[in-house]
Structure 1
Amino acid sequence: MENHTTRPHHVAVVGSGPSGFYAAAALLDASDSDSGPDVRVDMYDRLATPWGLVRAGVAPDHPKIKSVSSQYDKTAAREGFRFFGHVCLGEGPTDVTRDELLERYDAIIYAVGSQTERRLGIPGEDLPGSIASVDFVGWYNGHPDYVDLAPPLDTERAVVIGAGNVALDVARMLLLPEADLRATDTADHALDALVDSGVRETVICGRRGPREAAFTTTELRELNDIEGLAVVADPDQVPADIADDDTLPKATRRNLELLRGFAENDDSGQAKHRMEFRFYRSPVEIRGDGRVEEIVLGINRLETGDDGRTRAVDTGERETLTTGLVLRAVGYRGLALPGVPFDDDTGTVPHTEGRIDGDEHAHEYVVGWIKRGPSGIIGTNKKDANETVRHLLADLAERTPLATEPDHHDAIETWLRDRCPDLVDQEGWAAIDAHERGRGEPDGRPRIKVVDREELLKLSRPTSG
C-alpha cells in the first residue's frame, strides 16, 4: 500500500453547527499529531453564515452560551480548514450532490442537525397563529428562512406546548423587558415586534408532571431575575414535599424546589407580565375562525408501565384556554438527505457509532442530532463527534487517499466556485461578521444581524465594490 503521508486525506463536513465544528477540530487535532494522518477539512453550509443553532437557535438573552462560537473561530483559523457557505447539498440544478462530494472526498460527515419540528397531530394545528418553535426561534434569531414569519403578537396570552428549554426560551422571549431585549442580538424585525407585543402572559403546558419536565436548573433560576415578571405554578401540581424524594437526581430536586417556589410566591397581581407552568396537560384541539382563538387541553394522570417508564394518560377531562398564539415546542426532527438512509420513526440516519450503515455508505458518517436525535446540550456534541471521528480515522488508516493529483485541494475549490458562484468562503464570512459586530457596537449589542440573503452575499465580497 502507498504511503498515506504523501497525499492528504480530504474530508467534507456538511453542516457548520457545533457538531460539525467539533468533528472538524477532532480531525485537525489528529492531523497535527505525529502519528496521525494528514487531513484537510472542508465545511459546507447552505447558509452564508456558520455556527448553526449557536447563531440561529440559542436564545439571544443567553450570550454566554453563544460565546462558544469563539472556539469555532479558532478551528476555522487552523491550517487545513476551509468554510464554504451558501452551498446546498441536494439534487437541484444549483445544488452540490452527494455523488459529487464522494468523487472528491475520502469521507463525508453529515452534521445537518434536526431541521424541522415534531408535529402534534391534532385538529387546528395549521391554523394561522399556531407556530412551530423552530420557526419562531429562527424568526427572532434572524434565520433568513423565517424573516417573514410575522407571528401574531396582538393577543394577551400565548400558550406554549412543551416542557423543555426551548419552550422556556420562547415563553421568556415574549415577556422580556424592552431594556433586556435591546441589549441582545435579537434580529431587528423581531426586536421591534416583541417590544410592541400585546402578549402579557405565557402558559407553558407539559403533558407529564414537574418531575418529568426537561428544563435545566439555570434556565428556571434566571426567571427570578426578570424585572416585572411573575412566575407561577399550581400548588396542587407542585406540592410542598415534591423535592423530598432522595431517589431523584439532584438536578431534578433543584428544579422542583424552584417550581415549588413559584407555586408559593404568586405575586402576579403586581407584575406587568406573567408566566405560568401548567402540568399534566396535552393539546387536544386548536380552534378558531381563520386564526387561532382557543386551545383545548386534555387533563392527564401519570401511570408507570411495566418497563418503569412514566406515561401521561388522558383522563377525559378538558380545559379550554383563550389565546391567539400557540407555540409548539415538543421537539425537533431530522430530515432525510438525498441518497442517505433515513429512519423515519426516529428522524435520524441509521448508523453504528457514527458510521452510516450499509456497505455502499462506507465513506459516510454522521454526528450531532442527525445521528442521535435532538438531545443534550451544546457540549454533548463534542463527545458525540469524537466518537465518530475516532472510527473515521481508523477507516482512513486502512485507505489510500482518494486524490492522486498534487493539486487536488485547489481543484476542489476551483470546481466548487464554478459550480456555486455565490458561495461564501471564510474571508467572506469574516467580512459579514465584522459588519454585524460593527453595527451593534454603538448600541452595546453583540451584533445586529443581516438577514437578507442578497445583502449577505454582497457583504461577503468586500473587494467587489
Structure 2
Amino acid sequence: MPHVVTRSCCADASCTFACPVNCIHPTPDEPDFGTAEMLYIDPVSCVDCGACVRACPVGAIVPHTKLGEHELPFLEINAAFHNPPRSYPPQAPVPAVVDIRSRAETLRVAVVGAGPAAMYAADELLKQADVEVSVLDRLPTPYGLVRAGVAPDHPDTRSVTRVFGQVEAQRGFSYHLGVEVGSDLGIDEVLAHHHAVIVATGASRDRSLGIPGEDLPGSETATDVVAWYNGHPDHAHRDIDLSADRAVVVGNGNVALDVARILATDPERLAGTDIADPALDRLRASRVREVVVLGRRGPAQAAFTVPELVSLVSRDDIDVVVDDPGGLAMPDDADLVTRQKIEALRAVPAPRGEGRRRVVLRFCASPVALEGDGRVERLQVVRNRLEPTPDGGVRAVADGEPEPLETSLVLRSVGYRSIPVAGVPFDEQRAVVPNLEGRVLDGPDGGHVRGLYAAGWIKRGPSGFIGTNKSCSLETVNHLLEDFLGGRLPAPTGSARAFDRLVTERFPDAIDLAGWRRIERAERENGAAAGRVARRFTDRADLRVAAAAPRRQRRSLIR
C-alpha cells in the first residue's frame, strides 16, 4: 500500500481533489462524507504519486514504508474501507464555485467567529476578485478550537493553521480580534457596513448531566479543562483539582479521550509542547494516576473515533483497561467502523505493571449523583443493560443499585450547544441558527434574512471534524455569492473605513492582523528560548501588550 491516511486526518478533502486516480474516499459529493471518521486511501488504485501528501494540510498521509509502529494499524483501517472494492469515476468532482466577476462592485463580508468554519469561509470568498473580508472574534486570538481545543500532544492536527495563515495573507483580509458582536457592537451595525454577515461562532457551551450534585466544586466540563491546558484566556488560571488519584470523565467522545490522555500523561512528555504554563505546573504536581471514562452504552455505540482510540491504546506509557459487561461482543449488524472499534478494544494489551498511569474505558455505566461535603468526593454510578429500540438502535436502562466511585474531579463531556448571538435568529431547541443551506431564516419556517448567513457548528450542530467545515462553508459562501450576483444583498450604508473607526471607538484594544502576527511570533520566540514549540500568553492584558510591543518587549512578557 503506497500511502496511508493516519490519525490526524482533518477530512477537509484537499487530498481527494489532488489525487489523479480518485483513490481517496469518501469525497464531499458522496453520501457518507459527512459521517466518515476520516478519509481512506484505496491500496489497489493508489499510484504512489505523492500528490495527496503535498495537498494534505496536517501531514496525515504517510508512505507505508515510513509508518511508525503506532501508525501500523492504519494500514488495515484504510484498506478495510475499500473492501469489497467500490467503483468510482476517474476523477473526484471539484465543487463548483459561483463566479461574481460580472458585478463591477467590491463585495464586503463580515465573518463573526475566527475558527475553522470562519477561516474556510474567508478563503472561499477571497478566491474571488474584489472581495474584502473582515473577521471578528470576541477572543484576542483566532482559530477557535484549533488553538483552544486540540490537545497539545497532537501538534500535527494543529498544523492546519498553516492553511489559515495563507488565508490571512490574501489581499482583502482583515481581523478585528477581541471584539464581541452582539454586545457592544450589534449585528445590525456590522451588516450596515457590509453586504453580508456570516455567523460562524461554533458551539461553546457544554450540555449538563442533570443529576444531583452537578454544581459541587470539583464538577467541571471537559471543554473547560481542554481550554485550561490550551491557555484560553477565560480558563487558563482555573483551579483544577488534581489532588486525588482518580478522575472521572462522563462521556466517551474524542474530547473525553483527549482529556483522559492528557491527565494520564507524564507531564515531562508535554513539557516541549505549547501547553499553557499554569496547566503544566499543575500537572507536574498532579496525583492523578487513573482516569475513568464512562459511557452509558456499549463499545458499539461509543462516540470516539477509531483514529483517536488507536492513538490512545498505542501509547506505551499509559495502560488502557476495558471494562465492558458485554464482553466486547460484536453485533451481528456491525458496520465497518463498529467492527474496527471493537477489534481495537479487543487488542488492548494487558496492564504492564503496578504504579503506571492508566485510562479505564468503562462501558454501560451512567452517573446518577455527585456527592461530597462541600465539594465532589464521590460519583454514584449505575450499571446499564442495553435494550433494543423500535428504530433499530439500543437504549441504556439502569440495571441494579448505584455504586460509589471515589474521586474529587468529575468532568462532563456529553455534547455541546451553540449560544445565541444577539440580533440573530436562534432555534433554542436545536441550539442552531435556523437556516437553509447557510441562508439564515427568520425562525424555523420563516424566510431568508437578507444579508445574514451561517457556517460551521452554529449552522449544522456539533458534528464533523475540522475539515468538514470546508465543504460546509463552501455551501454557505456559494449561496451568498449567488445572492450578491442576483442583486439580493443590501448595499452597505457605511464604508470600510467607517467600520474600522466604529470598532476602534467601541473596542480600543481590538487586535488586527499585524497584532496577531506579533503575538504568534512572540509565542514562538519565547518557546524557542525555553526549548519548546511555543509558550502561550494566557492573559488578555499580556496578549494586548504582545500585539503592540516591539520585539525586545515581546520576548520578556512570559517569565
Higher mean alpha-carbon deviation, 220-229 vs 145-154, is at 220-229
* Structure-2 separation of matches of 1:421 and 1:317: 58
Deviations 1:420-453 (A, max 9, x none): 2111000000000000011111344221100110
1:383 aligns with 2:504: no
- Tell me the percent identity: 45
The counterpart of 2:386, out of the listed 302, 317, 324, is: 302
The counterpart of 1:133, out of the listed 215, 219, 222, is: 222
| 8 Å Cα contact 1:142/1:451 also seen in 2 | yes
Deviation at 1:251, TM superposition (A): 2.5
SS across alignment from 1:286: strand
Deviation at 1:147, TM superposition (A): 2.0
| 8 Å Cα contact 2:483/2:489 also seen in 1 | no
Change over 3 Å in CA distance of 1:6–1:106 after alignment to 2? same
2:516 maps to which residue? 429
TM-score normalized with structure 2 length: 0.77
| 8 Å Cα contact 2:324/2:362 also seen in 1 | no
1:311 aligns with 2:395: yes
1:259 maps to which residue? 345
* Structure-2 separation of matches of 1:365 and 1:89: 15
* Structure-1 separation of matches of 2:285 and 2:466: 32
Higher mean alpha-carbon deviation, 330-339 vs 62-71, is at 330-339
SS across alignment from 1:113: coil
SS across alignment from 2:234: helix
Deviations 1:150-194 (A, max 9, x none): 111001000110010000011111011123211211100001101
SS across alignment from 2:274: coil
2:415 maps to which residue? 331
1:172 maps to which residue? 261
1:418 maps to which residue? 505
Change over 3 Å in CA distance of 1:160–1:378 after alignment to 2? same
1:54 aligns with 2:54: no
1:197 maps to which residue? 286
- Counterpart code for 1:44: L
| 8 Å Cα contact 2:174/2:512 also seen in 1 | yes
1:283 maps to which residue? 367
1:113 maps to which residue? 202
| 8 Å Cα contact 1:177/1:227 also seen in 2 | no
SS across alignment from 2:358: strand
Higher RCO, 1 vs 2 (CA within 8 Å, ≥6 residues apart):
1
SS across alignment from 1:424: coil
* Structure-2 separation of matches of 1:402 and 1:420: 26
1:71 maps to which residue? 163
Change over 3 Å in CA distance of 1:235–1:161 after alignment to 2? closer
1:157 aligns with 2:241: no
* Structure-1 separation of matches of 2:353 and 2:229: 29
| 8 Å Cα contact 1:7/1:404 also seen in 2 | no
Deviations 1:289-312 (A, max 9, x none): 011000011221222221223221
Q: Supply the RMSD in Å over aligned alpha carbons.
A: 2.0
The counterpart of 1:349, out of the listed 417, 433, 437, is: 433
| 8 Å Cα contact 2:456/2:472 also seen in 1 | yes
| 8 Å Cα contact 2:306/2:340 also seen in 1 | yes
Deviations 1:84-143 (A, max 9, x none): 10111123xxx2111111211111101100111100010000100010112111111100
Question: Unpaired runs of 5+ in structure 1?
Answer: 33-37
Change over 3 Å in CA distance of 1:400–1:217 after alignment to 2? closer
Runs of 4+ that moved beyond 4 A: 400-405
| 8 Å Cα contact 2:324/2:364 also seen in 1 | no
* Structure-1 separation of matches of 2:281 and 2:234: 19
* Structure-2 separation of matches of 1:102 and 1:129: 42
2:175 maps to which residue? 83
* Structure-2 separation of matches of 1:321 and 1:68: 39
TM-score normalized with structure 1 length: 0.92
| 8 Å Cα contact 1:208/1:279 also seen in 2 | yes
2:462 maps to which residue? 374
Deviation at 1:315, TM superposition (A): 2.4
1:18 maps to which residue? 116
1:320 aligns with 2:412: no
| 8 Å Cα contact 1:283/1:295 also seen in 2 | yes
* Aligned ranges 1:230-245 → 2 under 5 Å: 230-234=319-323, 236-239=325-328, 242-243=329-330, 245=332
Question: Unpaired runs of 5+ in structure 2?
Answer: 1-100, 554-559
* Structure-2 separation of matches of 1:371 and 1:146: 26
SS across alignment from 1:449: coil
| 8 Å Cα contact 2:205/2:418 also seen in 1 | yes
Deviations 1:189-233 (A, max 9, x none): 001101210000000000110000021222112224434321011
SS across alignment from 2:548: coil
Higher mean alpha-carbon deviation, 175-184 vs 319-328, is at 175-184
Change over 3 Å in CA distance of 1:11–1:139 after alignment to 2? same
| 8 Å Cα contact 1:238/1:256 also seen in 2 | no
| 8 Å Cα contact 1:228/1:271 also seen in 2 | no
Between the two proteins, the alignment pairs up a number of residues equal to 448
Deviation at 1:349, TM superposition (A): 1.1
Deviation at 1:40, TM superposition (A): 1.1
| 8 Å Cα contact 1:268/1:274 also seen in 2 | no
2:58 maps to which residue? none
| 8 Å Cα contact 1:4/1:401 also seen in 2 | no
* Structure-2 separation of matches of 1:385 and 1:286: 41
